[in-house]
Amino acid sequence: MKYELAVREWAELGEGPTWDPATGRLIWVDILSSRIHTYDPADGRRTVMATEQHVGAAKPRAGGGLVVNLRDGVGLYGPDGGFRWLLHDPVAGRRANDAAVAPDGALWAGTMRYDEAPGGGTLTRIAGDGSAAEILGDVTVSNGTGWSPDGRLMYYIDTPTRTIDVFDFDGQLAHNRREFASVATDAGFPDGLAVDAEGGVWVALWDGGAVRRYAPDGSLDQVVELPVRRPTACAFGGPDLTDLYITTARAGQAAPHPLAGSVLVVPGAGRGLPGTPFAG
């Protein structure tokens, strides 16, 4: 599979690509630059919005606007751009990271410490009304989260473990955590993920310069080699959800590749699952 350049950008830490079918745009963030980006592949139009804090993820809301995973908690932007906190939970030295919306419309929001101290992060489920339940409390770098096509499995990555884990999912909560696949030390670290319509799990490999697809049984199925060292996450988008968009980072590299920080795309990579907007 061959990549193409979708958006040329110099993001420090591009992350969290999400397709918004209501607008036909890709949403993604630059965590360390506190920016939310959108991109319309039909006409190339882009927007950039600054946030007041480092932003780990931005996802569409059912009524319009965005839910955002920020340094000090989870907030809501309305269609008019107005902001309010949904869950304000500041912890010194901790920031937001990746997040995903479950089939029931709840946000699963991850955190990590800036110094990446072991066990300093969390994974929390936030319902549309703002009620929150901490699911995991011994996380180091909370990253990719996604659900199987039938909604019965949840995949999750705590990056330094080098494993993609899978849980049984009962429609609201996750149970019975176990290893789905592991990444060898010479292949990089698993970061963000996307699940396709056949149940394949696509994983971006930080420091691995690639995106891998694992079949539903956990076996390695495909590898997309990339020129950048630090791809961060991937998501299916486009009108038919057949194009795989990949965010990348420049952070921590003395001489990053010229495309580092840009958004890449693999046209016709597969077929993605329709996303669920946040219920709040």
Answer whether 18's CB lies under 8 Å from 235's CB.
yes
Annotated catalytic residue within 20, 158, 191, 196: 191
Quick one: DSSP state of residue 97?
A: E
DSSP assignment of 203-270, as one string? Answer: EEEETTTEEEEE-TTS-EEEEEE-SSS-EEEEEEETTTT-EEEEEEB-TT-SS--TTTTSEEEETT--
191 is catalytic: yes
Cα 275 to Cα 280: distance, rounded to the nearest angstrom: 15
Q: In what order do the strands lie in the sheet with 243-248?
A: 4-7, 263-266, 243-248, 231-237
Token code pair at residue 47: 């927007």
Torsion angle defined by CA atoms of residues 79, 21, 27 and 100, in that order, rounded to the nearest 10 degrees: 100
Distance between CA 65 and CA 58 in Å, rounded? 10
Catalytic annotation, residues: 191
